[in-house]
Amino acid sequence: MELVELDSIATFSEDKYSKIPINGTKGLIRLLCFKPNQSVPLHKHPEGDEYFFVVKGKGRVRVGNEEIEVGSGTIVRAPANVLHQWKNGTEKLILLSVLIAPSCYGLAEEILKMEYI
C-alpha cells in the first residue's frame, strides 16, 4: 500500500506554478500548486481528458468558452482537445490533476469488476 500526504509533497515556486507527479504515475496524476496570481497558459491535451480536483483554495478555470470560479471539493473535466486554463487569485491553490486517455473508458467495465474472496 502506498500513501501520499498531499501537504507533504506540495511545493510552491516563485516563478510559476509547480507540477509534482504522484508516486510513479509518470505525470498522469499530478499535484498542481499555485502561489497567488499564478496561472496555467491556455492549452489542450489532444490525446487525453484532464480531470482536476480542487484540494485547497479557489481559482478561475476556463474550459472551452466557459470560465467560472471554483473552490475546494470541486471536480472539473477538460475533455481531450479542448482548450483550458487555470488562474489563481490571492491565496494558495492546490489541484490534483488526472489525465485519462478516452480509449480507457471502454476498459472501465472490465477494470471495475471485483473478485471477492
pLDDT tens digits, 55-99: 999 999 999 999 999 999 999 999 999 999 999 999 999 999 999
Structural domains of the chain sorted by starting position, each given as residue range(s) with its CATH number in brackets: 8-102 (2.60.120.10)
**Helix (H) or strand (E) run with residue 9 in it:** helix 6-9
Instruction: Name the more confident of 98 and 113.
Output: 98
Alpha-carbon distance of 40 to 56, in angstroms, equals 17
The pLDDT assigned to 102 comes to 72
Q: Which amino acid is at 72?
A: S
The pLDDT assigned to 103 comes to 72
> C-alpha angle 95/101/106, rounded to 5°?
125
Q: Report yes or no: 50 and 34 within 8 Å, Cβ to Cβ.
A: no
The pLDDT assigned to 11 comes to 92
Residue tagged 486517455 (cell numbers): 101
Interval 24-55: pLDDT, tens = 777 789 999 999 999 999 999 998 999 999 99
